[in-house]
Amino acid sequence: MNKYLLKGLIFSIPLLLYVLIIIVVDPYNFLNISHVISNDDKFRVIQRTDESSPRGNILWKTVEFRRKPVKNLIIGDSQGRDINVGLIRELTGEDYYNFCFPGASFNTMFETFWFAVEHVKPEKVYFQVAFMNYNTHREYDLFHFAQDYFDRPWEYFTTKEIFIDSFMNLVWVLTRNPKVINRSYEFLNQEELQHLAQFRLDLFFKKYEYPQNYNREFKKIKAYCEAHGIELEFIILPVYKGVDEHLRNTGLFDEKLRFKADMQSLGTTYDLDRLSEIKSERSNFIDYFHPQPAIMDSLVTMLWGSQGIIGK
């Protein structure tokens, strides 16, 4: 039997090698043993596709936050992903953590909030909220992409996603081929982006139903924040005016106003979607929903700068 077990061990060598690769590459610093590949590279590889970006950002950020919690949080979706916390630090001297995930629904944001308060007692929490997700038909939760690994850590070695991420990290580091990391929608040409924008308008607004549950959950969060002395505010980022035109054409513009009113009823809301000089220019946006990084920096300055509106 011992001989047989030895044979089994030899057979398992490729499997052990595989485990070793995961340990060495560790695409999300989940194990935090080896740092052969830099964090910049790993984070860039996560953003490579529209499939890897949502799940990757969630796992990356939750792992990072769990290890080094920050007391000021910005929780949101892909719109808020480019909110530059380094710039906020320069402007305010305070550390913020950007918990905005591509593809995040409101449920994902709620889960993120409850996850964060398990690890730190926050001082300020900003919810970056968007009408595009304020819809019962967009009730899903991406947070399991992180929670699954926290609940069952061995899955870090047994899921194909981690294997593919590790492999792509190796390919990127060894080849530096931009095609490895540039396959997200952000790298589409103008015409393709236009097509995507139309597709997303349909995706977000084809079926609309007012989400009762979100308001209820926000009220729970508000009560929690009040009970624990946490400052809770809301940010609405601008979208291209084409979105509003589409909403008017489909009879949903009033629902958007209702969404804004809901947010305002919950707490201080910075509605940057009123800034017509930004909204009217297509080039200010990647697609219809996502402001360009430079525009985002100017919005951050507008909010947190010395002349900023936050705290005024």
Which tokens go with 29?
């610093």
Cβ neighbours, 10 Å, residue 86: 11
State in angstroms the smallest separation of the CB of 62 from other proteins: 20
Separation CA 75–CA 104 (nearest Å): 10
Which tokens go with 157?
């070695």
Query: Of 158 and 249, which CB lies nearer to other proteins in the complex structure?
Result: 158
State in angstroms the smallest separation of the CB of 15 from other proteins: 8
For the segment 56-95, give every residue that binds other proteins (CB under 8 A). none
Task: Give the Cα-Cα-Cα angle 161, 166, 171 (nearest 5 degrees).
Answer: 125
Query: Of 161 and 231, which CB lies nearer to other proteins in the complex structure?
Result: 161
Query: Of 43 and 163, which CB lies nearer to other proteins in the complex structure?
Result: 163
Contacts 24+ apart (CB under 8 A), 250-257: 250/205, 252/205, 252/208, 255/131, 255/134, 255/208, 255/210, 256/131
For the segment 10-49, give every residue that binds other proteins (CB under 8 A). 11, 14
Separation CA 18–CA 12 (nearest Å): 10
Query: Of 49 and 159, which CB lies nearer to other proteins in the complex structure?
Result: 159
For the segment 136-165, give every residue that binds other proteins (CB under 8 A). 154-155, 158-160, 163
**Residue 131: HSE in the Cβ half-sphere, 13 Å Cα cutoff:** 27
Cβ-contact 168, 46 below 8 angstroms? no
Size of the site for other proteins (CB under 8 A): 11
Cβ-contact 272, 302 below 8 angstroms? yes
Cβ neighbours, 10 Å, residue 238: 24
Which tokens go with 187?
């790298």
Query: Of 9 and 36, which CB lies nearer to other proteins in the complex structure?
Result: 9
Query: Of 140 and 224, which CB lies nearer to other proteins in the complex structure?
Result: 140
State in angstroms the smallest separation of the CB of 154 from other proteins: 6
Cβ neighbours, 10 Å, residue 108: 25
Query: Of 103 and 291, which CB lies nearer to other proteins in the complex structure?
Result: 103
Ramachandran region, residue 251 (left: φ > 0; alpha: ψ -120 to 50; beta: rest)? left
State in angstroms the smallest separation of the CB of 58 from other proteins: 17
For the segment 287-306, give every residue that binds other proteins (CB under 8 A). none
State in angstroms the smallest separation of the CB of 206 from other proteins: 13
- The correct pick among 1, 33, 174, 227 for binding other proteins (CB under 8 A) is 1
State in angstroms the smallest separation of the CB of 144 from other proteins: 12
State in angstroms the smallest separation of the CB of 90 from other proteins: 43
State in angstroms the smallest separation of the CB of 284 from other proteins: 33
Query: Of 160 and 216, which CB lies nearer to other proteins in the complex structure?
Result: 160
Residues 177-216, one symbol each (x = binds other proteins by CB under 8 A, - = not), give ----------------------------------------
Separation CA 131–CA 255 (nearest Å): 9
| Footprint on this chain of other proteins (rule: CB under 8 A) | 1, 3-4, 11, 14, 154-155, 158-160, 163
